[in-house]
Chains A and B, each alone.
Chain A
Amino acid sequence: MIETKLGEFEEVILILTGILGKDAYALKVAESFEEQTGRAVSIGAVHSTLERLEDKGFVTSEMGDSTAVRGGRRKRIFTVTALGKRVLKECMEFRLSLWKQYPVLESYLRIG
């Protein structure tokens, strides 16, 4: 089931989309990726990932409002779907379950 597997980059993009909420369009996602990770990324790369996530049903998209700075053009706003949220949650839980089995860090986490 390829559709439910998430790559690392896909996961981050999906989370960022969720964080940005109503402001999640390709440019913003790319910019916040750069801010959060310090890694450069092209809008095209982000867009292509979002498109792929949409194909898998993790996000939906619709045309949003427009602003003058875009020459009056509308944005394509991506929204995380219920399926997307569930997959993210599964991802997180899977990681956590892994972390719990990790001896040193578990105690560290408890302290934190």
Chain B
Amino acid sequence: MAQKTNSKDLSPPRAASRLLLSFLRDDLAEDVSGDLEERFYNDVLRHGSFKAKVNYWYQVINYLRPFAFKKIKSSPQNNAAMVGNYFKIGWRNLVRQRMYSFIKIGGFAMGIAACLLIAIYIQDELSYDRFYKDGNRIYRVYENWNDNGKIEKGVWFQAPFAKALKEDYPEIEKAGRYNSSELFGGGPNQIRPDGTSENFYEERFVFADQELLEILEVKMVYGDLKHSLDQPQTIVLTRSKAEKYFPGENPVGKLMVVNDNTANPFKIGGVIEDFSPHSHFQHDFIMTMTGREFWWGEQNYWGATNYPTYVLLREGTNPEALAAKLQKVVDKYMLPLWIKDGRSDAKDLASKISFGLQPIRDIHLETEIHDPVNHGDRGFVWLFGAIASFILIIACVNFINLATAKSANRAKEVGLRKTVGSYRSNIVTQFLTESVLFSAWSFVFGIVGAWLLLPYFNDLADKSLTLPFTEWWFVPAMIVGCMAIGVLAGIYPSLYLSSFRPAQVLKGNLLKGSKGSSLRSALVIFQFTTSIVLIISTVIIYRQMGYVMDKKVGYDKEQVLLLQGTRTIETKLKTLKEELVTIAAVKSASISDYLPVRGTKRNGNRFWNEGREKTDPHVGGQFWVVDEDYITTMGMKLVEGRDFARNRLSDTLNIIINQSMAHELGLKEPLGKRIVNYRPWNIIGVVEDFNFESLRNKVEPLAMIAGISPGIVSVKLNTRDVSSTIAQIEKVWDKFSPNQKIRYSFLDETYARMYDDVQRMGRIFTTFAAFAIIVACLGLFALSAFMVEQRSKEISIRLVLGASMNSILRLLTLNFVGLVLISLLLASPIGWYMMREWLQDFEYQVPITWDVFVVSGILALAIALGTISYQCIRAALAKPVEGLRSE
């Protein structure tokens, strides 16, 4: 039987013996492995091969004892000298090969600068709302509305919602709401201290509960947090606004007048510290909700949603379980109302609503939930991070490419070192030391670069970031980063270089730079694929931008001046309008807060065809109050019917709708039909669809009635000399409102601002695409220099034999052109896919046509050829004798 066990079974497990030798002292190796082997064969005979193997492992592991371990090889002094030597050799190489060193370090430095900037950007984005003492108990309530499988999330709740939560759920310690809607007086307003006459324009007004301030843990400068908003008609100011209106004094108890309403001034209940820039809640003037009703019965009405609601949970409450329990609110308060209104689908409606609790620190980056808050964009954070790491990888690739390409220069050194007794590990250490040296220099330049670029970057990303030089973790993080990058970039070259066989390289058998050239090609392809994807993205973003800017939006946004803050003129508003029209360069003027650009007044209303209110689902849409000159001033087009008449009395029951509304209501011949929004309206006209929100969305249904909404006067100009017209308008303004500075903007500028984020994204892409391309080109430049250097003899001989300059150039560039073309093939589908995803965001998209790829390809090719041509032309123009003389 013993004969049958084959030789493999009969030898000790190899892994175990290798492990043994890896740690065992050299002088013990022979007798110990002998002992163990003898034991093994005895065991095979006695217990069979399996048990013998197990026992062998057992014995090996039992040799893991201090006495048996290898001693540290060389004495510490010698080691230090060696590392010193590595640095010296590394430094000499760095200095001798200036161009290559410059490219390695320069590329790395750019990559590191980009990464640093982006890292602080990401850190900033992640640091929102993380400073509350009870931050893990503060939640914002949101509603899930299941619209036939599509979940819509929103934060607006009914006025009595917060109170009901607090009363019905003992888990909730505090509940507070705010209302920032301009419809009710939030947002921009005119304000002045009582007793003065000049109004000031301020933008960040909000109505809020006393308890909301407590939940948000605001810090008081003056006044008592518990009683700052608990009286009717009180207001809380931030410190900077209090300084502006009441410099150097405690204003608590003083009165302020909002929008010239001297009859109902606000009493200052407290002054709080400005909200941290890292808070999602940004308001300067907080007016109390105590004792306020926006219409009769509003505070107990369950049919209108205007209030984002926050809760502070008691310790140990499970938010998910509580959110599930909140469902009862619908059945208890909303369902009875719907049934009373006679809605046949009331039960169905109730089943579509559920609630969720969102931790306050998640608000900033969450864009799924509709709310009135400025958000960061999680996608942006990811995108930024990805781009930064790509630039860094491209820089690493440069390093790897150059190090392996130039390996021939170091081969002799490696051979010699090995001959005189270097282990491979010593050589790996040497080259890693060198690459860490490079990486350290790159970090120095990279940090300086980031510091220099920071202002531009802040501008680009619309942030105010600083480099955290003084943070305790900054220096350690940089050192760790420097080591990590050094090792990452250096590991492949050092393994490659240390693998040389001394005998061969010293005989001169190593083909210069030939090995690893396919890897180099692959890495160049990677670099250019990344660069071309960025170019494609940039081109498409700019095209979409141009498309959005030039698209016919259904109204004429040129030469429309928006006169803002006209609410305070009140009764004289109509006279102001009449006087404005008398100016020669003014074509027409219109009074309305509702404008077809974002940031002006909006609402949400429900429409039905007359007589179908109880049976049909509603059509959601805008309900705008305009005047009879609105459609003319905005240059909108009536496709059917007529505009509102001058004599307003006759049009009080009439309505003009847009095409989308007609379509949604299924009206084929809308003129003369009646639609219901609280009461019936006669349709007298249909206006062509115009985009009043961003082009990301479809045109929503919309209806306009004649009336007064006095916040903004739009003035259509027809002049080349805008500035003198403005001066005339200003003169008229001062007559009507001497206490309030004129404030105006232009419709087209306001429109352009809607696409700030797209523009910003375009600029960011351009910048980083440029970064990536420069780094990639640095590498290409060095590679071409290396190639020319290598083939200089061949080129010289070709020249001597009569080759033309053209043929030399072709010879040298063809290879690179091929690589760029392959990159283009790879990059096109990637870029196409990515940008198609991005464009999904827009309802109106520029088509991605084939010429995008041609343009990007030509651009990449031109950049690549431009980069290598310098070296190639130099080689082709060189005197052949220069290249041949050395032999």
Q: Which A residues lie at the B interface, using CB under 8 A?
A: 25-27, 42-45, 47-48, 51-52, 63, 66-67, 69-71, 73-76
Enumerate chain B residues within 8 angstroms of A73, measured Cβ to Cβ: 30-31, 33-34, 37
The residues in B between 38 and 88 inclusive whose CB is less than 8 angstroms from any CB of A are 38-39, 41, 58-59, 62-65, 67-68
B350: interface (CB < 8 Å): no
* A76→B68 CA distance, assembly (Å): 14
Contact A74 B34 (CB under 8 A): yes
B22 to chain A, nearest CB (A): 15
Q: How far is the CA of A33 from the CA of B550 in the complex (A)?
A: 96
Across the interface, which residues of A come within 8 angstroms of B31, CB to CB? 25-26, 63, 73-76
B14 CB to closest chain A CB, in angstroms? 13
Chain B, Cβ-Cβ closest to A77: B31
Please give me the residue from chain B that is nearest to A76 by CB atom.
Answer: B31
Q: Please state if A43 and B36 are interface contacts (CB–CB under 8 Å).
A: yes
Known contacts A63-B30, A74-B31, A27 near B62 by CB under 8 Å: no
Residues of chain B lying within 8 A (CB to CB) of residue A71: 33-34, 37
Q: Are A42 and B38 in contact (CB under 8 A)?
A: no
* A43–B34 touching, CB < 8 Å: no
A74 vs B34: C-alpha distance when bound (angstroms): 7
Measured in the bound complex, the distance between the Cα atoms of B35 and A43 in whole Å is: 8
Q: Name the contact of B63 in the complex, choosing from A47, A52, A63, A76 (C-beta under 8 A).
A: A47
Q: Give the distance in Å from the alpha carbon of A75 to the alpha carbon of B33 in the complex.
A: 10
Instruction: Please give, as numbers and ranges, the residues of chain B lying within 8 Å of A48 by CB-CB distance.
Output: 65, 67-68
Whether A75 and B58, one on each chain, are in contact in the complex, defined by CB atoms closer than 8 angstroms, is no
Q: B32: CB under 8 A from chain A? A: yes
DSSP class of B's interface residues: helix, strand, loop or mixed? helix
A26 to B39, CA, bound (A): 11
- Is B39 in contact with A75, judged by CB distance below 8 angstroms? no
Bound complex: CA A69 to CA B58 (Å): 20
Instruction: Give 20 A-B contacts (CB < 8 Å), ordered by A residue.
Output: A25-B31, A43-B59, A43-B62, A44-B62, A44-B64, A44-B65, A47-B35, A47-B63, A48-B67, A52-B67, A69-B37, A69-B38, A70-B35, A70-B37, A71-B33, A71-B37, A73-B30, A73-B37, A74-B34, A76-B28
Q: How far is the CA of A60 from the CA of B38 in the complex (A)?
A: 22
Additional 5 contacts, C-beta under 8 A, given A25-B35, A73-B34: A43-B36, A43-B59, A71-B37, A73-B30, A74-B34
List residues of B (7-39) whose CB comes within 8 Å of A's CBs. Answer: 28, 30-39
Query: A42 to chain B: which residues have CB within 8 Å?
Result: 58-59, 62-63
Q: How far is the CA of A44 from the CA of B63 in the complex (A)?
A: 5
B37: chain A residues at CB < 8 Å are 69-71, 73
Nearest CB to that of A54 among chain B residues?
Answer: B67
Measured CB to CB, the nearest residue on chain A to B20 is A44
| List of 9 A-B pairs having minimum Cβ-Cβ separation, nearest first | A73-B34, A42-B62, A44-B62, A76-B31, A70-B34, A44-B63, A27-B35, A70-B38, A48-B65
Query: What is the bound-complex CA distance between A68 and B36, given in angstroms?
Result: 13
CA distance A69 to B37 in the complex (A): 8
Size of chain B's interface in residues, with CB distance under 8 A? 20
In the bound complex, CA of A68 to CA of B652 (Å):
116
Residue of A nearest to B41 (CB): A69
Q: Does A47 lie within 8 Å of B32, measured CB to CB?
A: yes
Residue among B36, B63, B67 with max Cβ neighbours from chain A (10 Å): B67
Interface centre among B35, B36, B38, by most chain A C-beta atoms within 10 angstroms, is B35
How distant is the Cα of A36 from the Cα of B358 in the complex, in angstroms? Answer: 73
A66 vs B520: C-alpha distance when bound (angstroms): 53
Give the residues in chain B near A26, CB-CB below 8 Å: 31-32, 35
| Residue in A27, A67, A74 whose beta carbon sits within 8 Å of that of B39 in the complex | A27
Among residues of B, the one whose C-beta sits closest to the C-beta of A73 is B34
- Binary interface encoding of chain B residues 544-556 relative to chain A, with 1 for a CB under 8 A from any of its CBs, else 0: 0000000000000
Residues of B within 8 A of A52 (CB): 67
User: CA A75 – CA B38 in complex, angstroms?
Assistant: 10
Contacts of B68 in A (CB 8 A): 44, 47-48
For residue B260, give the distance in angstroms from its CB to the closest CB of chain A. Answer: 94
Determine which residue in A27, A45, A48, A74 has the highest number of CB atoms from chain B within 10 A of its CB, and name it: A27
* A69–B28 alpha-carbon span in the complex (Å): 18
Q: List chain B residues, Cβ under 8 A from A63.
A: 30-31
**CB-CB < 8 A to B28: which residues of A?**
76
User: When chains A and B are docked, how far (Å) is the Cα of A73 from the Cα of B24?
Assistant: 16
A74 touches B59 (CB 8 A): no
Tell me, in angstroms, the Cα distance from A48 to B62 when the chains sit together: 10
Query: Closest CB-CB distance, A73 to chain B, in whole Å?
Result: 3
Tell me which residues across on chain A come within 8 A of B58, comparing CB atoms. Answer: 42
Contact A74 B30 (CB under 8 A): yes
A18 to B67, CA, bound (A): 23
Give the distance in Å from the alpha carbon of A73 to the alpha carbon of B58 in the complex: 21
Distance of A43 Cα from B59 Cα, bound (Å) = 6
Residue of B nearest to A67 (CB): B38
Complex contacts, A69 vs chain B, CB 8 Å: 37-38, 41
Interfacial chain B residues near A75, Cβ < 8 Å? 31, 34-35
Cβ of A25: which chain B residues have Cβ within 8 Å of it?
Answer: 31, 35
Knowing A52-B67, A69-B38, A70-B38 are in contact, say whether A44-B59 is a contact too (CB < 8 A): yes
Bound state CA distance, A42 and B59, in angstroms?
A: 6
Q: How far is the CA of A102 from the CA of B28 in the complex (A)?
A: 45
Task: State whether A66 and B34 are in contact (beta carbons under 8 Å apart), knowing that A44-B65, A48-B65, A48-B67 are contacts in the complex.
Answer: yes
Contacts of B62 in A (CB 8 A): 42-45
- Structural contact, A27 and B38, CB atoms closer than 8 A: yes
Q: Shortest Cβ distance from A79 into chain B, in angstroms?
A: 14
Residue ID in chain B nearest A41 by CB atoms? B62
Smallest Cβ distance from A61 to chain B, in angstroms? 9
Separation of A75 and B32 alpha carbons in the complex (Å): 8
Give the one of A70, A74, A75 with max B CB within 10 A.
Answer: A70
Closest chain A residue to B12 by CB distance?
A71
| Alpha-carbon distance between A28 and B28 when the two chains are bound, in angstroms | 16
User: B38 — which chain A residues lie within 8 A by C-beta?
Assistant: 27, 67, 69-70
* Distance, CA A25 to CA B36, complexed state (A): 11
Q: Kindly provide the distance from the CB of A30 to the nearest chain B CB, expressed in whole angstroms.
A: 8
Give the contacts of B271-324 with A (CB-CB under 8 A). none
Distance in Å: Cβ of B265 to nearest Cβ of chain A: 91
Chain A contacts for B34, CB-based, 8 A? 66, 70-71, 73-75
Q: In chain B, residues 621-638, which have Cβ atoms closer than 8 Å to a Cβ of chain A?
A: none
How far is it, in angstroms, between the C-alpha of A67 and the C-alpha of B62 when the chains are bound? 24
What residue in chain B is nearest A29 (Cβ atoms)? B35
A73–B35 Cα gap in the complex (Å)?
Answer: 9
Considering the chains assembled together, what is the distance between the CA atoms of A70 and B17 in angstroms? Answer: 13
Whole-angstrom distance between the Cβ of B46 and the nearest chain A Cβ? 11
538-580 of chain B: CB within 8 A of chain A = none
Question: In the assembled complex, which residues on chain A have CB atoms less than 8 Å from the CB atom of B63?
Answer: 42-44, 47
A42 to B55, CA, bound (A): 9
Minimum Cβ distance to chain B for residue A72 (Å): 8
Give Cα A7–Cα B37 distance, bound, in whole angstroms. Answer: 29
Q: How far is the CA of A63 from the CA of B34 in the complex (A)?
A: 12
Q: Which residue of B lies closest to A26 (CB)?
A: B35
Q: Which of A44, A71, A75, A76 has the most CB of B within 10 A?
A: A44
Specify which chain A residues have a CB less than 8 angstroms from the CB of B33 in the assembled complex: 71, 73
User: Within 8 Å CB of B59, what residues of A?
Assistant: 42-44
CB pair B41 A51 closer than 8 Å: no
Question: Of B36, B64, B67, which is within 8 A of A51 by CB?
Answer: B67
Compute how far the CA of A71 lies from the CA of B29 in the bound complex, rounded to whole angstroms.
13
With A and B bound together, what is the CA distance between A27 and B42 in angstroms? 11
What are the residues of chain A within 8 A of B41 when measuring CB–CB?
69
> What separation, in Å, do the CA atoms of A74 and B37 have in the docked complex?
12
Cα separation A51 to B24 with both chains bound (whole Å): 14
Q: Nearest Cβ distance between residue A74 and chain B, in whole angstroms?
A: 6
Complex: how many Å from CA A70 to CA B31? 9
A47 to B29, CA, bound (A): 13
Q: Within the complex, what minimum Cβ distance (angstroms) separates B141 from chain A?
A: 66
From residue 68 to 118 of chain B, which have CB atoms closer than 8 A to chain A? 68
